Chains A and B, each alone.
Chain A
């Protein structure tokens, strides 16, 4: 019998399904059995169904003007309960540290006077916004939503690769993936139980309500989108619909007297919380890019006056800076007095003495990243780069050492992925999403697993040939429901079942007539 896993070439990376000795890791066992039973053809058919479903639902992204279904691999990634608890703990800790850092940077700046980080590192960050200084968010939250990108190294340890606390996107794919995959793996899902992801919109809404300016009891919340041509527009519309709030564009808003209103058919309605999916630079032409048509003039003034809450807060980008990322473990120790649960990837800061020389010597074996490049933009992987590319890189790094960081090449972990007619290992990362409502940081179980669909590739971004996987977090012990259940059963026994459904009296009579009609025509033929 042809075994789908016969030619499965485990590389040096950590494979999440198959252990080094060839055995199947525990969380994947049920899934592995099911894959073996279904075979390549059935999986292929499943992939086609998924693609069609996404096209039908409009879960798409544009490549050169053409609408393509967001690529979703049919083999899910599985994370067991214990591993997840560590990730959850680590992400929550990270978010708390980021909150403390941002509150400090746009406030007293204690961390500079205490010598945790040099002031110039902060002020030289491209996303540090002086305009945000002194704006106090009503419930102290600046990072309402965050996506902390994790990778799993060769030893199976999860590490933080980067923090996204500006406008992290991708959460709609997590929910869309789950509802699409549910139909593909009904047999497996009958045996293993997953932590649900569908509460996300309600959690986000609750966090936004909690973030409303003080004194507002029934806040008007809106999602601000750049518009239909934005690549993440699907997500913006989906979030607004799932939360039952308005999706607005900049031109729908009007600011006057320090108050934001939106134009609707019955006049102007006051807006209390804006969940914005527009970058800082475009948000308010008064403060930032004066040619922006996506924002609304005066927004920041209204926020400063405490009349509207902007989520996520303006200026968060300073925490996404990859040089500042390298200080995050220090922040955890400094602000929280805890040891980091999730380690960083080792990082060279090129302005430190000797670092630049060492990195330039080893350029061919390291990864170099621009500090403000989101989504893998501008990143150079030394071993995969050509000679010319390295020469050009060297010049750019020497010219602007503040603009780059260097990291060793980490072999991202692999998960079996359907490729053609066979299953092959492909590299993945993980973006868990966290929602902070001011009392608690809630982490969506799982998150978005992105997968590099090209063999050996370490680049998982969907703009560069990446896809996604549904991420299953196995549920731990069931909550005891025995009491409620037996009570319900007892009550049911006491009552007779509900009345049967009505049916047409004619139907019964008709059956008798039918027999007679048939007999009659039968008689005539004789």
Chain B
């Protein structure tokens, strides 16, 4: 397939996942502020902003956070921006993306940018999650599980790993003043699954362990990394004949960080969680670059100047 199309699919996967993850995170944190009388608004907001790689302007308030992370159209780092960016990418690859899938993305974008959405952030964020589920379901059911599909899932998995790592790092940074690990599990929709697996023994260490390492729940860091590696494997075997000498770079980076998580004793992991999570983010970024170099090569843009 065309590199340009593959790249689009990869980024559709990332942006849709980003919209969903950001909605989950925002929704849970904003609810926390309404629910817990003692939650320090500025700390919670600041930790959220820093998790998303934004400058923290103190004192941070919930409304500013919503503006920046939900409504800002100018950057694909917000919910609305990510939906827009996903749609742009889908538009560029309409011949590969199934009509149903394109429609799903397009409808989402138009609905999301309707004025009046801002009045009900909770309803909006819930709806984005539903749309993302509809997108993923439609993709699963209407695309051949070929290269295009693998690029889509690869993007989704890398984004998911990156988001979970950011969330965990931000929590480690905010310390006890920040949102609890339970809040984080809720952000990933993992709380009930965790409760069932932990059989009631809820404590910080077990929550972190679940969020990072559980191999069965699909939104944990470990699951996301394993899924990304699986996609790289698939793509690698299909493209073995055109190895450009950097074929397994992305796989190597992800595999290394996955092994670090898997084989470091949990106690050590928990002690140094911020740095480990930083390394995970760096690995995701590096893997993303390596994938681009390998599969999405671009020509050098030449511009002609009259002298």
Contacts and interface: CB of A to CB of B under 8 A. Distances in A.
Interface of A: 178-179, 182-183, 186, 189-190, 193-196, 198, 202, 205, 209, 218, 220-221, 241-245, 475, 478-479, 481, 484-485, 487-489, 491-492, 495, 497-507, 509-510
B69 to A, nearest CB: 10
15 contacts: A182-B34, A189-B34, A205-B200, A243-B195, A244-B200, A484-B43, A484-B176, A485-B40, A487-B175, A491-B173, A497-B50, A498-B278, A501-B77, A503-B76, A506-B4
A502 B174 contact: no
B48 to A, nearest CB: 11
Nearest to B174: A488
A245 B35 contact: no
Contacts of B215: none
A504 B200 contact: no
B7 A504 contact: yes
Given A499-B53, A501-B77, A241 B4 contact: no
B301 interface: yes
B76 A182 contact: no
Contacts of B53: 497-501
Interface string B61-84: 010000000000001110000000
Interface in B91-138: 92, 120, 122-123
Contacts of B209: none
Interface string B180-204: 0000000000001011111111100
Nearest to A483: B177
A190 B282 CA distance: 37
Contact of B202 (A202, A488, A489, A500): A202
Nearest to B52: A501
B292 interface: yes
A506 B8 contact: yes
Contact of B92 (A205, A218, A505, A510): A510
Interface residues of B, number: 67
B285 interface: yes
A502 B56 contact: no
A242 B76 contact: no
B55 A497 contact: yes
Q: Which of B4, B11, B195, B200 has the most CB of A within 10 A?
A: B200
B141 to A, nearest CB: 24
A198 B35 contact: yes
Interface of B: 4, 7-8, 11, 14, 18, 31, 34-38, 40, 42-43, 46-47, 49-56, 58, 62, 75-77, 85, 88-89, 92, 120, 122-123, 162, 166, 169-170, 173-178, 192, 194-202, 278, 281-282, 284-285, 288, 292, 296, 298, 301
Given A189-B34, A485-B42, A498-B281, 15 more contacts: A205-B200, A209-B200, A220-B199, A243-B200, A245-B200, A485-B40, A492-B56, A497-B53, A497-B54, A497-B55, A500-B77, A501-B77, A504-B11, A506-B89, A507-B85
* Majority SS at the chain B contact face: helix
Contacts of B278: 498
Contacts of B43: 481, 484-485, 488-489
A475 B175 contact: no
Contacts of B198: 244
A488 B35 contact: no
Given A243-B195, A495-B173, A503-B77, A194 B200 contact: no
B18 A196 contact: no
B211 to A, nearest CB: 15
A504 B40 contact: no
B126 to A, nearest CB: 10
A502 B88 contact: no
Given A244-B192, A245-B199, A487-B175, A193 B7 contact: no
A477 to B, nearest CB: 10
Contacts of A509: 298, 301
Given A202-B202, A509-B301, A502 B122 contact: no
B244 to A, nearest CB: 18
Contacts of B176: 484
A202 B285 CA distance: 38
A71 to B, nearest CB: 21
A179 to B, nearest CB: 8
B50 A488 contact: no
Contact of B170 (A179, A484, A498): A498
Nearest to B92: A510
A501 B81 CA distance: 12
A184 B35 CA distance: 13
A213 B124 CA distance: 48
A62 B174 CA distance: 46
A235 B237 CA distance: 51
B50 A492 contact: yes
B86 to A, nearest CB: 10
B177 A502 contact: no
B35 A196 contact: yes
Q: Which of A178, A220, A475, A484 has the most CB of B within 10 A?
A: A484
Given A221-B200, A485-B42, A498-B51, A196 B36 contact: yes
A129 B85 CA distance: 68
Contacts of A179: 31
Nearest to B292: A505
Contacts of B298: 505, 509
A428 B35 CA distance: 24
A489 to B, nearest CB: 7
A488 B166 contact: no
Contacts of B85: 503-504, 507
